[in-house]
Amino acid sequence: MSSPYRFAGQTAVLTGAASGIGEHLAYGLAERGSDLVLVDIDEARLKPVADRIRGSHPGITVTTVIADLADRSAVEGLGARILAEHPAIGLLINNAGIALGGRFDQVSVEQFETVMNVNFRAPMLLTHALLPALSSGSHLVNVSSLFGLIAPPGQSAYSASKFALRGLSEALRAELAENGIGVTTVHPGGIRTRIAESALVGISVPESEIEPNRKLFAALLSYPADKAAALILRAVAKRQARLLISSSAKAPDILARLFPVGHARIVRALTTASASRSPAVTR
C-alpha cells in the first residue's frame, strides 16, 4: 500500500464513536470529508456527537447505529445492515472496547467472555461481514492497546482480547495487502477516555479496592484523546502498519503502585516503546 488514504467522499464506519478516541475520530473524519456510520451502545452520548457533526459539516451524511457489541447477533445484524446500506466502505475503524478490573481469580468467566466478545469477537465479526464492502484503496483500523503488546497482572481478559485483536489485525495486514486494502493496528496507552469509568470490575474484587483502583486507572489516562485521534488519522493517511500512542510522564509511578510486583517489566516495556511524551511510532 503506497498511495495515501483519501478520506473525502468515502464512507467510514466507526465503532465506539460516542466518547473518547472514537468521538474525536468522528470529528476528524467529518473534517476530512468522510460520510460516517457511527456505532455505539450509548445512545445518549452518541446523539450529541452526531448532531454536532451535522451542524458543522452539513455536506456529509451521518448515520448512527445503536448496538451492543457484546451480543453476537447484534453484531451480525449490524454488519448485515451496514453492508446493505453501504456497499462501498472506504474505512472501517474497530475502536470500541471495554476494560475489566481484577486478577484472573477475581473475575468471572462470564465477565472474561464479555471482554473478549466486545474487544475481539465484535471486530472479527464486523470485519468479516464488511470485507465485501472493502475494495482496493480501502483501509481497516483495529484499535488494540499497549496491553496488546504487554500483559500486566490484573489485565488478563483485556490483554488477552487485545493480543487477539493484534494477531488478527497483523495477519489481515498481509492478507489484505494482496487486495490493495491497508491495515493499521493501533496501540494506545494511557489515553484520557471514559474507559476507566465504564470498566467492568471483577465480581470477586473486594469492594474497598474498586474505587481506589478506578481512580488510579483514571489517573493513568493522561494523553488527550483528540491528539490520539489525530495521530490515528495521520497513520491511516500514510497506511502505517502499527501506531503506538502513549504518554510515559505519569505512567511509571502509577504502574508501580498498581502493580507492585510486575511493574519493572511494564515500565521497561513502556519506556523502550515510547521514550518521551511524544508518541513513539514503529513500523
Partner 1 sequence: MKFIEVRGTRIRIRVHESGSVSAPAVVLLHGIGRSLEDWSLQHSLLDDEYRVISLDMPGFGLSQRLPAPTTLDGLADGVWAALSELGLNAVHLMGNSLGGAVSMTMLASQPDRVSTLTLVNSAGFGKEVTIALRLLAVPGLGRRLLARVDARTAPRMERQIFADRALVTPERVEMAIRIARQPDFAAVYLEIAKELGGFRGIAAPWRSALLQRVSGHTKPTMLVWGDRDVILPSAHLAAARVAFPHAQSHLFGGTGHMPQIERAEEFARLVRPVLARVSV
Q: If binding is defined by CB under 8 A, does position 32 make contact with partner 1? A: yes
Instruction: Pick from 6, 47, 52, 238 the residue near partner 1 by CB under 8 A.
Output: 6
Instruction: Pick from 58, 84, 208, 261 the residue near partner 1 by CB under 8 A.
Output: 58
Q: From the centroid of its chain, how far is CA 129?
A: 18
Q: If binding is defined by CB under 8 A, does position 10 make contact with partner 1? A: yes
**What minimum distance in Å lies between the beta carbon of 236 and partner 1?**
14
| Cα(265)–Cα(152) distance, integer angstroms | 9
* Pick 31 or 71: Cβ nearer partner 1: 31
* Pick 9 or 48: Cβ nearer partner 1: 9
Instruction: Pick from 19, 26, 57, 133 the residue near partner 1 by CB under 8 A.
Output: 57
Instruction: Pick from 56, 204, 278, 282 the residue near partner 1 by CB under 8 A.
Output: 56
Place of cell 483502583: 213
Cell of 134: 472493502
Q: From the centroid of its chain, how far is CA 175?
A: 21
Among 52-60, 141-149, 193-201, 266-274, which window interacts with partner 1 (CB under 8 A)? 52-60
Asked if 5 is an active-site residue, the reply is: no
| Cα(159)–Cα(137) distance, integer angstroms | 31
Exposed, middle or buried: residue 212 (CB in 10 Å: 0-12, 13-18, 19+)?
exposed
Q: What is the 3-state secondary structure (H, E, C) of 19-74?
A: CHHHHHHHHHHHHCCCEEEEEECCHHHHHHHHHHHHHHCCCCCEEEEECCCCCHHH
Q: Is 204 helix (H, G, I), strand (E, B) or coil?
A: coil
**What minimum distance in Å lies between the beta carbon of 237 and partner 1?**
11
C-alpha R_g of the chain: 18
**What minimum distance in Å lies between the beta carbon of 62 and partner 1?**
13
* Contacts to partner 1 from residues 220-279, by CB under 8 A: none
Q: If binding is defined by CB under 8 A, does position 87 make contact with partner 1? A: no
Residue 141: name the closest of 99, 210, 188 by CA: 188
**What minimum distance in Å lies between the beta carbon of 124 and partner 1?**
29
CA dihedral 261, 225, 236, 15 (to 10 degrees): 90
Among 49-57, 97-105, 194-202, 252-260, which window interacts with partner 1 (CB under 8 A)? 49-57
Among 58-66, 116-124, 157-165, 173-181, which window interacts with partner 1 (CB under 8 A)? 58-66
* Pick 108 or 135: Cβ nearer partner 1: 135
Residues that bind partner 1 (CB under 8 A): 6-10, 31-33, 55-60
